[in-house]
Amino acid sequence: MQPDQTQISVIIEKCTELTRRMLSFAQFESSQLGSPSIESEHLVLSVLTEHKRYLALYVPDGSSIAMIREQVEKKSQLGKILVAAKGSSNLAELPFSEECWRALVLAAEEADKMGWERIEPGHLILGLLQEEACFASRLLREHGADFERIRKELATAPYQPLPREEKMRSAAEQMRKILASAPQLPPRNPEEFSDAMSRFVHYTEKARRAIFFARYETSQFFSPVIETEHLLLGVLREDRAHLDLYLPSTDSIATIRKQIKEHSAVHEKSLPGERLPARMNFPLSDECERALAYAEGEAANLRSERIGPEHLLLGLLREEGNFAAQLLREHGAEIERIRSGLKASQNQPPTNSADPSQPSEPAA
């Protein structure tokens, strides 16, 4: 039995921000695998990918997320063929399957039993395990997940996100260790970086280059992780054609860079103290990861086959608490205005090179 919108709203209202984000990621996983609905396996993929701190608890046999994903993709071969033929599904149109919906209801009940006001990611795993007939439950148990053990661990050690300063110090220390063990890493160009990052296979060349240049900006601002402001600079560099749409109230990218430099100076004491080589494979911050997920959703909703810099910028705006979104809004960016402008540009016919005011003639 399919839930109505009121029932879905009640469950989502009880979810933490992190859990809601995982539901959005499950939508995206579903669209990429060509499914007409959000299945239990899409939900488990989103939780495992975004809740890595608890991966050993959920998958105690030591399997990686990549191994779990491979099993899900094998089950979804037909869906992948449909994606190739038709393109990704519209995220807004994807309903929860009956199994996935029952797992969400069970997750809400589990949160109540444990005395928690909100549904955390761990409760989603417990709900999936209780929906024993679903593929995600079988998958988790196959890799060693145990309901009672997970329940006990979550009750005694509830999830607490690390403070930003602590995450930055940890990332900086990790980068120092990498540099010490491999100080002579050869330089890599944007194309090599793109090829190595298989997760960006559905991104346009400009979007991949924007991410590459975000990594360069990260090194210039002494940061051990790619922050949203670094990604913003990469997007603005690669998509100058839409600057008036993105930043109607600013005079130049240099103005944005100056504000980012001033903002970064506040945090430099907890950072390495010297620029890390731009060839380093810097990790994305949590805010950047969420912005990329939003960008992928924006591309699907705009019926774009690939994710471009414009979708990255919309993703940054949707991840509202980050510094890049703050900068964009300060300089006049409005998400609905940008969406409308992008839709209008998509609908314009190609121009005739001899007379730009006239549409191109169709090929004979």
End-to-end CA distance of the chain: 52
The token pair at 65 is: 């997320």
Query: What percent of the chain is modeled with pLDDT above 90?
Result: 35
Indicate whether 88 pLDDT > 90: no
Q: Which residue has the higher pLDDT, 173 or 350?
A: 173
Indicate whether 232 pLDDT > 60: yes
Which of helix, strand or coil describes residue 97?
coil
pLDDT in tens, 318-346: 887 789 999 999 999 999 999 998 888 87
pTM flag (> 0.75):
no
> How far is 325 from 334, CA to CA, in rounded Å?
10
CATH topology of domain 164-346: Double Clp-N motif (1.10.1780)
* Contact (CB, 8 A) for 142 and 47: no
Q: Which residue has the higher pLDDT, 356 or 106?
A: 106
CATH number of the 5-156 domain: 1.10.1780.10
Instruction: At 223, give phi and psi (nearest 5°).
Output: -95, 140
Q: CB-based contacts of 153: which residues, under 8 Å, 6+ apart?
A: 57
> How far is 75 from 34, CA to CA, in rounded Å?
11
Which of helix, strand or coil describes residue 355?
coil
> How far is 17 from 150, CA to CA, in rounded Å?
21
pLDDT of residue 192: 45
* Contact (CB, 8 A) for 297 and 91: yes
Indicate whether 133 pLDDT > 70: yes
Domain boundaries, the chain: 5-156, 164-346
pLDDT of residue 180: 53
pLDDT in tens, 290-312: 888 888 888 888 888 899 999 99
Mean pLDDT, the chain, whole residue set: 78
> How far is 95 from 82, CA to CA, in rounded Å?
18
